[in-house]
Amino acid sequence: MIAYPLGDSLYLNITNRCPNHCSFCIRQFSDGIDGYNLWLEKEPTTKEIIEAIGDPTKYKEVVFCGFGEPLMRLQVVLDVARHIKKNYPGVPIRINTNGLGNLINGEDITPYFRGLIDTVSISLNAENAKKYQEICNSDYGEDAFYSMLEFARKCKNHVPRVVLTVVDVPGVDVEKCRKIAEELGVEFRVRHFEGGDGE
């Protein structure tokens, strides 16, 4: 399934690849969400994604999310977002990400979001690098935590709304996480350990 509605939003599942291996990742427990199978036989092309979206004006927003990290396919995200903004300018676009896009792509990618992406929702996941690595098992090791925070900081310069999220898995200090978000000047949201929001 490439495009699937959840609530009032249309979610886009464009890759199953991810450099993290989170203990709570729904990919470890399920083949998908709400009956949608999100394992992709092959990664969809930009054209296939645009066809799967169709007319998105009936949705509150379009969300790059899926069963994997969308910024593994940065150019596809940007091309699809450009298509939506050109043809359906009233439809907001969100990226749900692990915040490792700069490490993955080897450059600061946040300026590319300007004018295309309305919200970036970033998984903070833990209050420090050591705990982050215990929970997320990133291929980048503890560097991932620091790069994710830097990514959030940089997104603020180019994206109207930046949100840090944590999943309330045991052992995470939610209040310390909230403080990190406050210090960065971004929104904060606690997600429950069910994957019900599509990630």
The residues binding ligand SF4 (CB under 6 A) are 18, 20-22, 25, 27, 68-69, 98, 123, 136, 199
Please, what is the minimum distance in Å from the beta carbon of residue 153 to ligand SF4?
19
CB-wise, 69 or 118, nearer to ligand SF4? Answer: 69
CB-wise, 123 or 147, nearer to ligand SF4? Answer: 123
Alpha carbons 183 and 181: distance in angstroms, whole number: 5
CB-wise, 64 or 112, nearer to ligand SF4? Answer: 64
Please, what is the minimum distance in Å from the beta carbon of residue 85 to ligand SF4?
25
DSSP state of 43: P
Please, what is the minimum distance in Å from the beta carbon of residue 128 to ligand SF4?
17
Three-state DSSP class for residue 120:
strand
65 closest CA partner among 47, 83, 77: 77
> Locate tokens 């200090």: which residue?
173
Task: Sheet containing 9-12: give its strands across.
Answer: 3-6, 9-12, 61-64, 93-97, 119-123, 161-167, 187-191
Q: Which amino acid is at 60?
A: K
Please, what is the minimum distance in Å from the beta carbon of residue 52 to ligand SF4?
20
CB-wise, 27 or 154, nearer to ligand SF4? Answer: 27
